[in-house]
């Protein structure tokens, strides 16, 4: 039994490092509008979130409808690279109803926020928690072998879902206070992750 547990522990430790490297490598890939795969993922994101509305052009103000800052989303991926887009697509694909519901919340006249920008911001949060080792207990509890990219994406989905609830519970005066509430949410998640039995995932 000891040997089995030791083997699992070593697998998890090496797996965590490998997962971090895979996530880091994806983060380092800049969004490239000349790359067909990158462009396809971006269009897929639109289609998943806005199934009843066609994009009129690749560069269009319509992108603001799903929370990008300008008429070309590629500039918003700078900090998190392709990782930010892959996370947004993953959530929209695997939790389509929840993603559209949260997008609808984000258009609230008083408590609204930029859905895609906040999504990329939460990618940065998930990435930093992985990088500093805070996700170890969570990932070790989720999988008894090698954690995969899928598990990182699942944690990201949890963050997006929980942040939306948190934002509306807190009722910030305006989006100008975003950083302050983001930090409060970050501290809350860090607190939850300190429990050695923690598992933070959304269930389908």
Please choose, from the candidates 172, 71, 178, the residue with its C-alpha nearest in 3D space to the C-alpha of residue 118.
178
Contacts of 91 (CB under 8 A, 6+ apart): 98, 99, 119, 153, 156, 157, 160
Listed range (20-24, 59-63, 102-106, 141-145) with the worst mean pLDDT: 141-145
- The Cα-based distances of 203 to 97, 197, 199 in angstroms read 13, 17, 11
Q: 201 falls in which pLDDT band (50, 70, 90)?
A: confident
* pLDDT digit string, tens, across residues 130-153: 999 999 999 999 988 889 999 999
Distance from C-alpha of 161 to C-alpha of 156, rounded to nearest angstrom: 9
pTM of the model: 0.94
In this prediction, residue 203 carries a pLDDT of 65
* pLDDT digit string, tens, across residues 74-92: 999 989 999 999 999 999 9
């Amino acid at each position: 039994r000891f040997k089995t547990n030791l083997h699992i522990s070593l697998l998890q430790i090496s797996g965590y490092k490998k997962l971090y490297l895979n996530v880091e490598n994806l983060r380092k890939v800049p969004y490239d509008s000349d790359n067909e795969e990158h462009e396809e993922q971006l269009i897929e994101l639109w289609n998943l979130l806005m199934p009843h509305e066609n994009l009129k052009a690749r560069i269009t103000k319509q992108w603001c409808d799903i929370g990008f800052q300008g008429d070309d989303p590629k500039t918003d991926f700078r900090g998190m690279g392709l990782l930010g887009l892959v996370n947004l697509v993953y959530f929209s694909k695997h939790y389509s109803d929840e993603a559209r519901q949260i997008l609808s919340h984000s258009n609230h006249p008083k408590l609204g926020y930029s859905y895609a920008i906040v999504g990329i911001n939460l990618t940065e949060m998930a990435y930093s928690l992985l990088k500093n080792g805070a996700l170890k207990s969570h990932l070790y509890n989720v999988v008894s072998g090698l954690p995969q990219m899928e598990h990182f994406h699942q944690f990201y989905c949890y963050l997006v879902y929980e942040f939306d609830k948190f934002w509306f519970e807190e009722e910030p005066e305006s989006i100008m206070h975003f950083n302050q509430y983001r930090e409060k949410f970050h501290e809350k998640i860090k607190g939850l992750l300190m429990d050695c039995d923690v598992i933070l995932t959304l269930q389908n």
